[in-house]
Structure 1
């Protein structure tokens, strides 16, 4: 552009930049010349694509000893594409796509941080993963463990947002649940985290009283008792008190039954589960537990696995269909659905995988694994 000056002055000039083919850090150089002089200045601009991440999935069933070709094309901004092939002997559930949604989600609160990392604890148990993928998962889990430590309040609970002083009822149990499972997988927790968290949960469990006015108060108490039992500190007195609550909800029954099962009280667990049903319905106040019908169904499925109830297979089929669909699921519903499916695979397992595949006619790779699912990244031309 050309501008003129008849005296020393400042003028503003605007340029439109086409960034449709750019992403990340770009450099713009501004050059000004006049009256025999020349000056330039470089500035870095961060180009962020405002469109959401989009995915396309294709699915096919491969019979034994069969060969099949699958064509795919990239789409979107060049250089941002990735492709993954997943082989599974389990019902289709788009484990990879749902997991990627959790990992890429802009996490900030205690529930979202937990949801992002929770299912990753079990990926190595059910997936045949490359070394690089295992390392990536390990880093993700360690970061989540460290970050969640900063959510702990002085009284041992977990705040919803980092820096708050008030403990969040459900978030404390959910994050603590993840930390217990992470510790069992060999991850090191912040030094005083578990002792302080246990003290908070034990005090909250003892001081809880039945309420007909607070939505899902009984489910929150049942989940709290579940986490204590999982940590090896079952509070049977509080469990019995909740069991005697005349208005205990169906969702709370399933969670309480799981607590009894973890405490070694299988007979009591089965009796409670037998009074519950699988007609899960939406209720007012689901937001109190960041839940949904599908999240509660996944929790009930976990209880069925713990109590040896074979109905878990029917629930697994339903949950797998929901995961493989295109419908939106919240972070916690997604995380707990994946968690329940992973628990199911740990118990009942899946058939071994044995196959060979090539990409673009070259680079044959053989996969022979005892795991139920194998995942490989594909090179994009």
Structure 2
């Protein structure tokens, strides 16, 4: 008992007592060199070519030197050259700063972007560094911009500096250029090329026109479709025959132009491309020339929001959204089946996550535990991968089939049963889904749906799954007619499943006898007209009567007045001490607080997106001030609990979930950086999954002085 014993080692960690375990909030590291990434700032496109080059491995010569060459752009400054050397026995590194400078240094400053009609200035700062001084020649030319007076030459002494301000007026939409050429006294030409995007940030509108093209009739598709839109902002699609019935090209274009990027929206943009590759190529969508790469990139972007458990978050890695997990896994499964590269581990984790949630799913009814919407979707995805239990499918069909809340959930269970060859039960579930759909009226109440859907989306998805499962118990023509008459703007869910339905029905005849520009039509009967196109498209129908659908997107040339359907939004500006200000004479360098106030017209449950495009002379300053607790902001009664915020170079975006009819306010800080007169686009709010419910402010003008 009294003998010597080896001492033991114990560790007692009490750090966990500092954290409230009942709070349930995830911890966040607030240190490290990448902490600024939390601001989610998106860099503007550079006005000059960036100097950043990498050679890859370079073999060392017999003389002991490794040589590499770079073609530098018109750059003045210090370049850091870094090298790493290694061999079988050692590793070494070195770096050196190299001064790169023209004999006369020209610095040019422009706004980061402009809108048509904006007026600002090109600031030229010219400094003599080395070489002969004296008379300098100066030439400034622009493409797509109107320049004011520019001196053809000036005198510059040794080590002297000259400053010129050249008025600039933005013209047509596009990526415009300014080229500055300086001629030194000894005849050297020093050139600097600047690029500046001229863009329209006002809210877009979509116009859909459906026409009957009778046998023998001719239709001309030309610039007339852009009447009433800002020049250069428009794009129009024309679909003929079966594709026109559900307006597949117009829906593809709307998804391609969709400006936001949560996980659901990224998935909805990519999913139809698995089946509309030919149409995407004809429409010349971004990345359509290499859809393999575009879909591979979409997979990578979506998987960036996958958590370690295999689930997916809406705006970042997270878990807890069962329906979203099933939707993204459905896309990954379909992409893999179509031959696209899907990381095996990511898909396996996603399927394991679904399987775990199915195994622990509580009992449900139409109004308890979500009505089985996510459960049915997960079972469908697992069944397609051969990972569902047939006993579970039959139990839910026989015992709980009528208790699923939505017709889509019933159809998904039917599709799961069809995957395992139980067509009788599958048809029974599709029949129940069709009967439930027929009892539903168009959506009027603004009710939160965990499946991001509407009655229209359910109808389109029901048609898609019934065709894919080979079920004939539904009236496909009636379903097609039901979704074909939809007008207005569709949500990403509605557009995606309408496209999936069009894909399922795409083999129907209807394009025979169509000629385009005097030649028999080949490939998808789709044509696209850009705002700058000058050659019209002439369509003639020598066959049976058919349908033509034309969809035009663009910004109205006359800004729409403030108003809304479901929401009102106002925008006001304040000093950093909270005093209201106007924007008719803002001094450059001034910081202002922008306050957006959103008022619902009634009670609503919605996933809202608030967007405030910036005038070209402003930039967002210190996004963290939105929740920094400064006195000026705290007195405004701001909403700081939001789902997601982005601080882009040309706009402020915030996604926020609301379950009430109460007014709320958002705010951010801007700084006036470029003198001039700039167009101020309207701010807007919209229910992302009921896009007909929206509100907007008036557009305006901002004047910034020196």
Could you list the per-position Cα deviations for residues 106-143 of structure 1 after superposition, in whole angstroms to 9, with x for gaps in the alignment?
23211000111111211147x49549665254443222
- Asked if the contact 1:103–1:117 (Cα under 8 Å) also holds between the matched residues in 2, the reply is no
Match of 2:506 among 345, 349, 370: 345
Query: Quick check: 245-254 or 166-175, which moved more?
Result: 245-254
2:382 aligned with 1:228: yes
* Counterpart residue number, 2:427: 270
- Aligned equivalent of 2:289: 135
The Cα of 1:262 is off from its aligned counterpart by: 1.9
- Give per-residue Cα distances to partners, 1:221-270, cap 9 Å, x unaligned: 00110111122323223323433237333423222122111221111112
User: Structure 2: how far apart are the matches of 1:270 and 1:328?
Assistant: 32
Inter-partner Cα distance in structure 2 for 1:117 and 1:190: 16
SS in 1 for 2:362: coil
Q: Which has the higher helix share?
A: 1
Q: Is the 8 A contact 2:172 2:198 kept in 1?
A: no
Which residue of the partner structure matches residue 262 of structure 2? 109
**Aligned mates of 1:120, 1:216 — CA distance in 2:** 30
Counterpart residue number, 2:334: 181
Q: Indicate if the aligned counterparts of 2:272 and 2:499 stay in contact, CA closer than 8 A.
A: yes
Contact 2:246 2:498 (8 Å CA) reproduced: no
TM-score normalised by L of structure 1: 0.78
- Match in the other structure for 1:60: 211
Structure 1 position 100, deviation (Å): 0.9
User: 1:166 offset after TM fit, Å?
Assistant: 2.2
Q: Tell me the equivalent position of 1:19.
A: 170
Rounded Cα–Cα distance in structure 1 between residues aligned with 2:166 and 2:485: 50
Distance 1:193 1:342, change over 3 A: same
1:300 to 462, 465, 469: 462
- Which of 85, 89, 93 lines up with 2:238 in the alignment? 85
List aligned pairs for 1:1-381, cutoff 5 A: 18-19=169-170, 21-24=172-175, 27=178, 45-70=196-221, 72-73=223-224, 74-75=226-227, 76-89=229-242, 92-124=245-277, 127=279, 130=282, 135=289, 137-162=291-316, 164-212=317-365, 214=368, 216-243=370-397, 244-245=399-400, 247-251=403-407, 252-276=409-433, 277=435, 278=437, 279-281=439-441, 282=443, 286-305=448-467, 306=469, 307-322=471-486, 325=487, 327-346=488-507, 349-358=508-517, 364-369=518-523, 373-378=524-529, 380-381=533-534
Inter-CA distance 86–284: structure 2 relative to 1 (3 Å threshold): closer
Q: Measured at CA, do residues 52 and 17 of structure 1 come closer, stay the same or move farther in structure 2, by a change above 3 Å?
A: farther
Cα distance in 2 for residues equivalent to 1:250 and 1:83: 35
Tell me the distance in 2 between the aligned counterparts of 1:57 and 1:147: 31
Higher strand share: 2
1:67-102 Cα offsets, whole Å, 9 max, x none, are: 444554234343444444332245633222221111
**Cα RMSD (Å) of the superposition?**
3.6
Greater Rg by CA: 2
| Cross-structure match for 1:33 | none
TM-score normalised over the length of structure 2: 0.44
Q: Return the alpha-carbon distance in structure 2 between the equivalents of residues 176 and 229 of structure 1.
A: 12
- The verdict on how the C-alpha distance between 1:331 and 1:60 changes in structure 2, with shifts beyond 3 A counting, is same
Aligned equivalents of 1:341 and 1:154: distance in 2? 36
Q: CA separation in 1, counterparts of 2:195 and 2:499? A: 41
Name the CA distance, whole Å, in 2 between partners of 1:44 and 1:70: 33
In the alignment, is the contact (CA less than 8 A) between 2:376 and 2:413 conserved in 1? yes
Q: Distance in 2 between matches of 1:27 and 1:287?
A: 50
DSSP 3-state at the match of 1:211: coil
- The gaps in structure 2 that reach 5 residues or longer are 1-120, 122-163, 181-191, 535-706
Asked whether the equivalents of residues 159 and 168 of structure 1 are also in contact (C-alpha less than 8 Å), the reply is yes
